[in-house]
Structure 1
């Protein structure tokens, strides 16, 4: 469900595009799976999109980007494949204490791609990494602002704030849905960075470069699930306030 936070940004920026969204509900959460498992799922889903004639593939998942984006680009050369990364660079610019807190899944934080991102974009900052796998499970269950959510958020943020982190980076696309609990813990002023809008702009740029932006018409988004489609319909309405056509991913790709 985390990709819904990015889907909303894509819809706002590219309202004419026809979008096909696959929620890999039979295989989540990715964050605690092995990189090999995530790569295999990413390749299967990318092959599905190619079979449907996709002009670009968006990966609104930090764990899948870290595990698979390079291999997918090699597998499908010439097809724009947009990955997502935590907003470490702007965080390193914003921090005054020199301490940045990154909240993500274990898979993202342990990846070589994330290590390279830190070395490249925040060499002079102290980056505190806080794995929050429980947050993914909470969002997948539709729990966004409950006592259990607040307790989990407080446990994760307390050690970061105690070490003077003055900027927080949401390194998982599920986490923007927990903004209410996050703000309740840190107050209104501490920067909390996520990258959905920047991701959507990059997708727009790549489509423009290849001349495939849809010039007119009304956009449409169809949701497919690798598991039971019924919960996907309910979660989409709860998280995005929209009713989408929802169906099942073909069995060959599940």
Structure 2
């Protein structure tokens, strides 16, 4: 069953590219393949509700597309699991999103920094015909905006310890100083909507990261390196002050997804969103309404 459209979906951005017309000389099979691809949804998954921040950016960039969002909340959090566990979950979810019980996805967005670091290379090897977009802490955008050349990075231990993150950090050596802080428990507090705990942990990790400001020697840019953390963005901004840049990866991921899509949806109606959870589906529904203002049903998923 197709989910109800998300309320107040934005129109296609001005100047956005439309699907190119199919040539009249195209073979029936090619026309059928393209038509099927246009109708297929985009799959998005995270360990819980954090990926909703990516889904929000995706819908703003691609308002006509259908999405299937899987919250693997029955096995969360990923940030404190070993790589083998995260890889197995990522592969299992991807196989599910490719069918056979529903229209298979045309593109996959791994909306989790930990899963991207641990599993995306193996996912691309295992599913070579599927365009796959991952997320990573937005260090490059942070380098582009910092003036003091000191950047704070908040992320899970799994992300900070990953070889993928270390390689990214190494590639930017000399361009800025990065102060990285693991944020144990913050993603879980955001999952629970525990406002008091969110505020306490945010304050603790900001203190641990250093002095924020726009003077020489101060940290003037803060990277929110977990997809959960944008939902605490207002708390972080109040702690570091209005002059400090907060950077997340929602918009870059959405733009990259547009670039890799095999075909854009052509339906003039707003796209549909289907929510699924391997854990408490009520928690995902509440998070979607609380963080995004969307009232949508959630399907239970056993994987």
1:147 Cα shift? Answer: 3.5
The equivalent residue for 1:63 is 114
Aligned partner of 1:201 among 255, 266, 284: 255
Gaps of 5+ in 1: none
Which structure 1 residue ranges, 4+ long, deviate > 4 Å from structure 2?
Answer: none
Deviations 1:126-182 (A, max 9, x none): 211100121101111013xx3432221111111323373221101000000001211
- The SS at the match of 2:68 is strand
CA RMSD of aligned residues (A): 1.4
Residue 181 of structure 1 is matched in structure 2 by 235
Aligned pair count? 246
Q: Does 1:8 align with 2:59?
A: no
Does 2:86 correspond to 1:38? yes
Matching residue within 132, 156, 159 for 2:208: 159
**1:148: which partner in 2?**
197
User: Is the partner of 2:154 in helix, strand or coil?
Assistant: strand
Contact persistence 2:66–2:273 (CA under 8 A): yes
Per the alignment, residue 284 of structure 2 pairs with 232
| Of 45-54 and 76-85, the range deviating more from structure 2 | 45-54
TM-score under structure 1 length normalisation = 0.93
Q: Equivalent residue of 1:244, what SS?
A: coil
The correspondence of residues 237-252 of structure 1 with structure 2, limited to 5 A, is 237-249=289-301, 251=302
Query: Taking structure 2 as the reference length, what is the TM-score of the superposition?
Result: 0.78
1:15, 1:124 → 2: CA distance? 36
Structure number with larger C-alpha Rg: 2
What's 2:68 paired with?
Answer: 20
Taking the aligned partners of 1:230 and 1:178, their CA distance within structure 2 comes to 21
* Cα separation, 2, equivalents of 1:147 and 1:223: 27
Q: Secondary structure at the match of 2:80?
A: coil
Question: Secondary structure at the residue paired with 2:151?
Answer: strand
Deviation at 1:121, TM superposition (A): 3.0
Question: What displacement does 1:122 show?
Answer: 4.1
SS in 1 for 2:125: helix
Between 32-41 and 229-238, the greater mean CA deviation after superposition: 229-238
Matched, 1:110 2:161: yes
Q: Aligned pair 1:172/2:226, yes or no?
A: yes
Mapped to 1, the partners of 2:233 and 2:174 lie a distance apart of 28
Q: Is the 1:60–1:83 Cα contact (8 Å) retained in structure 2? A: yes
